Every structure is written in C-alpha cells, then in structure tokens.
C-alpha cells in the first residue's frame, strides 16, 4: 500500500514537480489515524493475550535494535552514511514508519527507503523460496526409511 504512493512521489520529485517536504503536522496527523486503525484491531483481546504479545514484541524489537546498531556502526565506520541514516535504514519497523521518521529527522530519504525496499523485496521473494525448501525437506524426511 506504500509502494504506489512512493513510486508516484519519486516520479514527481525526480521530474521537478515537488520541491518541498510535507509539514510535520500532516505527518503526525497521519500517524495518529494509522494508530487508531491499528488500535481498533485489539478490540476483544484479553489482557493476558495482550501482555504475552507485547512482551514478545518488546523482546523482538530490542534484538532487532541491537542488530541495527551493529550494522549502523559498520556503515558509519565505512563512511557510507551518517549514524541517523544508518540506524533508520536497518531499524526494526515498517517502511512507512521509517520513512516518516527519516522525514522528521531530516535524514537522507533515498538511503533509508532504498534499504527498506531491498529488505521488503528480499522477504517477499525469499519467503516463498524458503517455505518451499522447508516443505520439500519435510516430505523427504517423511519418506525416508527409519534408521
């Protein structure tokens, strides 16, 4: 859902029709309504379910943030990008959210978006390949004679 507007914005920006960034108030308002949409999905969830899911999410975010920090340090030491761009490029989170953070932070949008597009592309193309490989391996293991 973000790819279409992203491509349109890139075309308009590269062709010279767009010369400015959206105001931060508009971005914050959009994020507010996105949050409301996400929150509605939690109607009817028990406190125990919420606690378990939130704890798992927090642990996952800390692990990914640590990995992002390691990759950020490598990128900065190699002189490929600044620390803000490096962290936003590898940070856990959705492409839309990282794009918004990059805009608000004044980071290099191209660097951040390119990394997230590569990540999304790898996941979208790689997940079916890995799933098929797992499926083939499971079938092979089921058909193998017992040892």
Q: Which of 30, 45, 1, 12 is nearest to 101 (CA)?
A: 30
Residue 3: exposure state from Cβ atoms within 10 A (0-12, 13-18, ≥19): exposed
Summarize pLDDT for 1-16 with one digit per residue, the tens.
566 777 788 888 888 8
What is the Cα–Cα distance from 91 to 78, expressed in whole angstroms?
18
Of residues 15, 119, 30, 122, the one with CA closest to residue 71: 119
What pLDDT score was predicted for residue 10?
80
Give me 97's structure tokens. 């959210």
pLDDT per residue over 79-119, tens digit each? 988 899 989 998 887 888 888 888 888 888 888 888 888 88
Q: Compute the chain's Rg from CA coordinates.
A: 20
Q: What's the mean per-residue pLDDT of the chain?
A: 87
**Could you report the per-residue pLDDT of 72-88, keeping only the tens digit for each?**
999 999 998 889 998 99
End-to-end Cα distance, the chain: 50
Q: Which residue has the tokens 């959210």?
A: 97
Stated as kind and residue range, the H or E segment containing 68 is helix 47-77
Residues 41-68: b if buried by 16+ CB within 10 A, e if exposed: eeeeeeeeeeeeeeeeeeeeeeeebeeb
Phi, psi of 6 (to 5 degrees): -65, -45
pLDDT tens column, 31-72: 899 899 988 988 888 999 989 999 999 999 899 889 999 999
User: Any idea what DSSP says for residue 145?
Assistant: P
């Amino acid at each position: 859902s973000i790819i279409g507007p992203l491509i349109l914005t890139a075309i308009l920006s590269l062709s010279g029709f767009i010369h400015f960034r959206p105001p931060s108030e508009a971005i914050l308002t959009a994020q507010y309504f996105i949050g409301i949409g996400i929150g509605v999905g939690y109607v009817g969830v028990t406190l125990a379910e919420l606690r378990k899911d939130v704890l798992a999410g927090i642990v996952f975010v800390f692990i990914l943030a640590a990995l992002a920090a390691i990759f950020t340090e490598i990128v900065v030491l190699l002189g490929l990008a600044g620390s803000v761009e490096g962290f936003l490029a590898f940070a856990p989170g959705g492409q839309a959210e990282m794009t918004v953070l990059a805009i608000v932070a004044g980071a290099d949008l191209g660097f951040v978006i390119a990394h997230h597009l590569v990540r999304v592309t790898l996941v979208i193309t790689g997940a079916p390949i890995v799933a098929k490989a797992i499926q083939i391996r499971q079938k092979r293991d089921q058909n193998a004679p017992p040892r």
